[in-house]
Amino acid sequence: MKLNLVSSRTGATWVKLGIKTFFRQPLALAGLFFMFMAIMTLTTMLPLIGLPMAMTLLPAATLGLMAATREATLGKFPMPLILLSAFRSGKHLAHAMLTLGVLYAVGFLIAMGGSYLVDGGGFARLYMGGSMPSQDLLQSADFQIAMWIFIGMHLPLSLMFWHAPALVFWHGLSPVKSLFFSIVACFRNFWAFTVFGVMWMGVMVLTVLAITTLASLVGSPDLAGTLMFPALLLIATMFFTSLYFTFSDCFTESPELP
């Protein structure tokens, strides 16, 4: 395995490839993303164990979406079972991916717990969709501090796990080594990832503006609400599609892939 250094312009290429690949197999990739969201949502709803279980499955599910993208780039139609790629390639890989998932779940719960200690769980309940925010809650100092504590703790966690599932699956790294190389790759290619993030934010903002403008032109405010959710889901699908390209450009693939 070799870590590659890429130019800042590569971040824009990742976004373009994510969008282009999505439109090669829009039904398959959108359907897989909706399945991914449904699995995460239903798992989270389980009493007590739901949230830790969902966070444990997240790396494996993300790997499944990356594998689906790889299939699409090869001109193949990714089938639903590809979401289980991490668990269909032998006990060793399945165990490694579950270990990675447990590490992510622990890190996520620590970050969420840090915010809970500040505001008594106000931000945590909002983040998990368990309550509607009031104006007073959003403006409270404790809530805002809790939000920034979570962001500050979750950001390095996200960078450690950005490439980790793919490194475990395609390069056979141990979970701990995959976390190390993932965050190193993100820092060594900082400007490419900065461009990548800024461009996706731009795509999302332009989508929102286009929908609100269309609703205003036709004189139907309800149209914006009707179109906004599915449009943002499609943008999220394209974003997840682009993740594979951030990995494939940052690391030289092994000669043989499962």
Q: Which two tokens stand for residue 199?
A: 């461009």
What are the tens digits of pLDDT across the range 101-149? 999 999 999 999 999 999 888 888 888 765 566 677 777 888 889 999 9
Measured CA to CA, the distance from residue 92 to residue 175 in angstroms comes to: 12
- pLDDT at residue 129, rounded to an integer: 66
Between 173 and 138, residue with greater pLDDT: 173
pLDDT tier at 258, thresholds 50, 70, 90: very low
- Number of neighbours of residue 68 by Cβ within 10 angstroms: 29
What are the tens digits of pLDDT across the range 215-256? 888 887 788 878 888 999 999 999 999 999 999 999 986 544
pLDDT tier at 257, thresholds 50, 70, 90: very low
- pLDDT at residue 139, rounded to an integer: 77
Any alpha helices (H) in the chain, and if so which ranges? 9-24, 26-44, 50-73, 91-119, 122-127, 135-139, 141-162, 164-171, 175-188, 190-217, 221-250
